[in-house]
Every structure is written in structure tokens, then in C-alpha cells.
Structure 1
Amino acid sequence: MNNFVLYLILILAIILNGVSITTAANENETVIVDQEMEQEYGSFTNRIVNPLIDYIRELEAELDKRKLKDKEIKDLKEKLIKHESNEAIIKELRSQIVDLHNSCNDFRKELVNNTLQLEMCENQLRTLNSSIIENGKVMTNLTVRDNKGAISLNTTLLQLENNQDNVLKEELDPRLCQIDVSYPFAKSLGIRTINVPGIDSFDVQCDSATIGFGWTIIQRRFKEDVNFNRNWASYREGFGTFAGDFFLGLEKIHRLTNSGRYELYVHMEDSLGKIVHSRYDNFKIAGEDDDYVLSSLGQFTGNSDQMRRFEHMKFSTFDHDRDSLENGNCAVMWVSGWWHGDCRSNNLNGVCANTKKCGAIYSGVKMLIRPKEEVKIKK
């Protein structure tokens, strides 16, 4: 455009110069002719040349504006490209954050399991150490007695151990634990095999020392030698040993409590010997299709209605979440399977601390059931 303007000015200069030469060659013409020529060419300049120059300038200004807009459009395109690139980066970062969060949850679960196993090992070591110390004391006491007394004491101890190791197994009615078992089994280990409709025969442990005859233990914790953070299948079938801590199994408890009317007794004792107890006259849980919901407790007697807040709750484990909490799993939070509600309450299967306090506050916990109507059964 600048070159075009220069060419136009050059042409105008030549025309004007030609006019000057023509004017000089005719110096003898009259002054009137010169004036008319000057007026004519001046009028030509005003009418043709000046408007043309103004138009050219307007074109130059318009081109400058278009160049400025082109630059703005280019800048906007570059910003758009950067924005799209940032969106992709943000999306990738969010995906990485989700992956990290999932990894942290997996690590947290693994840490909880490892911590629980470590606590169990520590408790076992303390128990073994206490047993060694007690055995040492017993041996010391035995050595200071005369031979006759020592032999008599050893014989008595062996008889008691043999009585505890003998398993009383008879395939009878599930109410077998109601038999008035005579000494020494009235206050020690008594295991019997029972038949219940809908399931194969299985062993139960009877308890005649806690609250009288006829009770079957369905859960016990006092040694802390068993991990209660189990999956759904383990709680369904049961786990542990009758010599230590155990859980009888949800399916067995369901079959028992649905074969007749059963009462439940919960016995809890702290480290100072204080006993908290709850008794319910119509304990029943539903089957697996209903997530073993605690469907009934009945009327309460005792000094602490501990189980009432779990009534009508479904059973939950870390791999079978059926609690009422929308976000989270109470079984993971309390590290145990139970009839969890909204996670605000600990439970009798919860983690025990180093002070050997089960269910957060108790050193010993036991759950027992028996038929509501006492029936005597012959051996």
C-alpha cells in the first residue's frame, strides 16, 4: 500500500511539473491565461487528487485495524490452545488423585490388619509370660511341701485337667445344655453335639457356672487369642476354639433361635471385677437372605440394656457392608463384624486395647442363649 501511494504522488508530481514546463515555455502568453491555467489545475487537484489521497489514508487506517484484529484473534487462539491443554492436565491430575486415594485406602486397611496381628502377638507373649511366672510360683510352693502333700496336689491338678480335656459328645436335642451336669463339669468345659433342623449336627459349649444350668455359649472373648476382624463367610460358619475365644457362627445361631423361643444373656466384666449383664427373653436372628438381621430381643432385665441399639440391624463385615451409614463401612471402622447401625457405638466383637479391654471397656465378654422353656432331657 505504501508503494502505491508513492507511485501516485510521483505521477502527480510529473503532471504538475509538466504544467510548470508548459507554463515556462509560453512566457509570452498573457497573465490572464496563466491565471486561468492555475485555477483550472488547482481545481483539478482539489476535486480529484485530494479526495484520492484521503481515501488512500482511510484504506491504510482500515488495514491497520484489520492487522490489529488478526493479532487479537491469533492471541485468543493461543490462549484457547493453552486452556485446552490445562484442562487435559487437570483431568489427568484428578485421575491420579483418585488412584492415590484408593491406594491410601488399601494401605490403611492393610495397616489395620497388621496392627491387629501385632497386638494379638503381643497379647499372646504377655499371656505366655504370665503363665511361666505362675507356673514358677506353683513349682516353688510345691517344693516347700512334704512329698505326700505334693503328690496329692499334683494328682488333683491332673484330674482337673483331664476333666477339662474330656469332651462330652452326644447327638441329642439342641436343649441338651439344660441337663443338670454334675461336678466337675458343672463349672468347667462341657462340649456336646446337637442336631438342629436345616443344618448338619455341630458342637456347642455348655455353661452352667455363669447364670445357672442350660446355657449355650455363642460368643466369648477373654484371652484375645482370636482375630474377630473376619469376612462374611467366616462369621457365617463360625471361628475360634472352645478352649479360648470363639464365635459360634451366624447360621448356627439362626437355626437355633428359629427352632423355638430363646433367651439371651450377655455377661461383661471389667478389670476390677465389676459385672455388667443384660438378659432378653426373645432373642432371634433372621437367615442369610436377610443378612442375619437381629430381628428380636424381647423384654430386658439386668443393669445395662447394651444390645437394644443393635436390634433390627443387619450384620456387616468388611466385605459385606449392610450398615445404615451412607458413606463408609462400620465394620472397617470398628475392625469387627457386628449388627452395625450408624457406627456411633462399639460392639462386643470390637478391637481390644493393650489393657485387654474388649468392646472398648470390658476385660471379658460372653454371650449365652437357652430355650425359654426349661426342658429336662434324659441322657
Structure 2
Amino acid sequence: MELEHLKAQITKSTTQTEDRCHPSPNEKFVAQEIQIPDSEFFKVVCHTKKSTESVYMMVYRKLYNSSKFNHTFEEYTRGFGNVGVMQKEEFFIGLEKLHLLTERNPHELWIFMYPSGHLKEIRCENFVLGSQSEGYMVKTLNGCTEDSSILSQGIKFSTFNRYEDENPLQNKATKLGLGWWFDSRVKRSTLNDAIVLKILRKN
């Protein structure tokens, strides 16, 4: 089973665990290795906001009209891409890691989009991603600064080879060439834009 194989790959016991980003004194964006308890270390991009001393974890970065996100459900579960600080580097840390991070500790979600080249920023106070058995559903998404039509609570994750859309006759993952939490409000033009997702641990 794919998930069991993934867990077997990452399972290691250590005396200390760090499952959050730490402030960087000199750089705004920095690559760090973190560790979910009982797992091996993996790389993430951390963003330190000096004005508030908040440290965000970048979990997803897609460039405009990218063709690099048409992956299988299994690849989305593991994560893919080149996790780095350069703006041209595209990646996703993986559904399973994102689930474990947000299920274990409270997190905010920050959504950055660039419609027509202009930055649109949405902050949601509470975000939890469900497990694989729940279809990596958006279990909690509330307290958003504005309507987050790109992402909705209660929607499961879909790819071209595993489709969970509310309308099974429309395989949006195949049509759009990427995996996402599709519902009727998600538009092609929105998902073609550059998208960055960051999480902020609240404790």
C-alpha cells in the first residue's frame, strides 16, 4: 500500500524532533530541515517576517501556467519538486506531511495568488488537512480575511488518477493538468495563476 510504503520510508526514531520553522536572523527566506516525530528530516522553505517575528513554512509553490503539477495521487501524497528558496523553484511538500503538521498543531493558512500580475493575499486563522482515509479533505478552513474560493472546507483532493470532485462527470484534474481540492467555485484561470501556500504554527 502506497501510504504504508511512504511511512516505512520516513519512519525513524530520534531523541529530538523539530516540526516547525525557526527564525532566520539574516535571511528572509531560507531552506531548513524539519522533522515530524517518528519521521526522518525533510526540507522546507521558511519565511521570517521581521516586523512580527513570525516564521512561515512554504508548503506549495506553483508558477504561472506551470505544467509541473500534473502528478499522480501517490506523488502528491509523497510530495515532489525542488524545495528551494529561488522563486523559479516549484514544489509541494506532500499531502501526508501537510496532514500530519496541521493535525498535530494549530496552524494558520496563507494563500498568495497573482491574478493579472497583482498580489492577492488571503489569511485563514484555522486550517486542518484530513488524512488519506479522509481523501486529504480540507477538514477545517475558517477565519479567512476574504472569500477563499480557491479552497473550500469539506472538499477532498483530486488528481487525474483519483477523482473526488463533487461532479464526477467533470474531471477537472485531467482538464486543468494538476491536482487540487476542486469544487464548483474553482476556476481554470485562478489555478493557472502563480499560487503559494504557507502555514504558520500558532503554538
TM-score, structure 1 as length reference: 0.44
Q: Does 1:359 align with 2:191?
A: yes
Q: Deviation digits for residues 222-254 of structure 1, max 9, x if unmatched?
A: 376661111111100111112301111000000
Is 1:314 aligned with 2:159? no
Partners in 1 of 2:50 and 2:196 — Cα distance? 9
Is 1:192 aligned to 2:192, yes or no?
no
1:340 aligns with 2:182: yes
Q: Note the alpha carbon deviations across 1:342-369, whole angstroms, 9 max, x for none.
A: 4x523xxx6xxxxxx8624x3x321100
Q: Structure 2 counterpart of 1:230, which letter?
A: H
Percent of aligned positions that are identical: 27
The alpha carbon displacement at 1:203 in A equals 1.5
Tell me: CA distance 1:293–1:225, structure 2 relative to 1, closer, same or farther (3 Å): closer
Q: Which runs of 5+ in 2 are unaligned?
A: 1-15
Structure 1 residue 308: Cα displacement: 6.8
Structure 1 residue 323: Cα displacement:
1.2
**Partner residue, 1:46:** none
The structure in which a higher percent of residues are helix is 1
Q: How does 1:124-143 map to 2 (within 5 A)?
A: none
Q: Which has the higher contact order (CA 8 A, sep 6+)?
A: 2
Q: Of the two, which has the highest radius of gyration?
A: 1
**C-alpha contact (below 8 Å) 1:221/1:366 kept by paired residues:** yes
1:298 Cα deviation (Å)? 2.1
Structure 1 residues 239-318: aligned runs within 5 Å = 239-243=80-84, 244-272=89-117, 274-301=118-145, 304-307=146-149, 310-318=152-160
Q: Does 1:202 align with 2:32?
A: no
Name the counterpart of 1:165. none
Superimposed CA distance per residue, residues 159-202 of structure 1 (whole angstroms, 9 cap, x where no aligned partner):
xxxxxxxxxxxx75212x2x33111x2x23x1212121354332
When residues 309 and 194 of structure 1 are mapped into structure 2, their CA distance, relative to the original with a 3 A threshold, is closer
Distance 1:230 1:339 in 2: 14
Question: Is residue 237 from structure 1 mapped to residue 78 from structure 2 by the alignment?
Answer: yes
Larger strand proportion of the pair: 2
TM-score under structure 2 length normalisation:
0.79
Q: Which runs of 4+ in 1 moved over 6 A?
A: none
Q: 2:58 aligns with which of 193, 217, 223?
A: 217
